[in-house]
Structure 1
Amino acid sequence: MSETSYCLTMILAPTLEEQVLDLLLTAPETSAFTSTSVFGHGANPGDLNTAEQVLGRTRQVQVQLILSRQDADALLARLRQQLPGIGIPFWLSPVLERGMI
């Protein structure tokens, strides 16, 4: 039986995108990942600029990586060490199946 893979998802403010992506590109735990522009909804209105308040959404970047639990734990530790207190929301989910079609 193969080792379980996990999907690490992080939501970044656009101002953090380059800094976090640069770290991920050089981290030994990562081999490949995706990043996508997304919109966040339901944020505290006081945290939004005027345009975001009118639109009811804020621009964000979603990053997803597939990796082992050990690598996920190591990468999260690396992020906490190199970017302390930066406030990046994340979640880690088991991958039920993966492959190519």
Structure 2
Amino acid sequence: MNCTEYLVTLNIPPSLEELMVDSLLLLESEHGFSSFPVRAHHHDNSGLSLAEQVAGRQKRIRFQMYVPVEELPALLAQLREEFSDSGIQYWVLPVIEAGII
């Protein structure tokens, strides 16, 4: 089975939400993207406020989008250029199946 599409997930600081929306709208594929608030839990306390360290979680905004295989390198390059050293965590997973039920 050849993967033709990937699910890209980004966890970003809330302060970057509007910039990310603007960036992704310029690169938007036919599927668009979703965003929602999440709480990130991580063993590395660097960059966390005292309250976040005590609570053991950090507020983040998660973006998810389907990206065709041929568009993935351009998306990642654009994000690296625009958001270098911003602490964005990301992962890319192959989409085995997608549709509307």
- Fold-level match, TM-score > 0.5? yes
Letter in 1 for 2:53: Q
CA–CA distance in 1 between the matches of 2:5 and 2:22?
23
CA RMSD, aligned part only? 2.0
Task: Assess if the C-alpha contact under 8 Å between 1:9 and 1:63 holds in 2.
Answer: yes
- Aligned positions of 1:28-43 closer than 5 A: 29-31=28-30, 32-43=32-43
Aligned partners of 2:44 and 2:2: how far apart in 1?
42
3-state secondary structure, aligned to 1:47: coil
Identity %: 38
Runs of 4+ in 1 over 3 A off after TM superposition: none
Contact 1:6 1:95 in 2 (8 A): yes
CA deviations 1:4-32 (Å, max 9, x no partner) are 211011110111111111100112x5330
Cα distance change of structure 1 residues 19 and 97 upon mapping to structure 2, 3 Å threshold: same
- Whether 2:48 is the aligned partner of 1:48: answer yes
Distance 2:50 2:87 in 1: 22
Cα distance in 2 for residues equivalent to 1:76 and 1:35: 18
Q: Which residue of 2 aligns with 1:82?
A: 82
Look up the equivalent residue of 2:29 and give its one-letter code: T
Question: Helix, strand or coil: the match of 2:99?
Answer: coil
* SS of residue matched to 1:71: helix
- Tell me the TM-score normalized by structure 2: 0.85
Where does 1:84-99 land on structure 2 (aligned, <5 Å)? 84-99=84-99
Matches of 2:54 and 2:84, distance apart in 1: 32
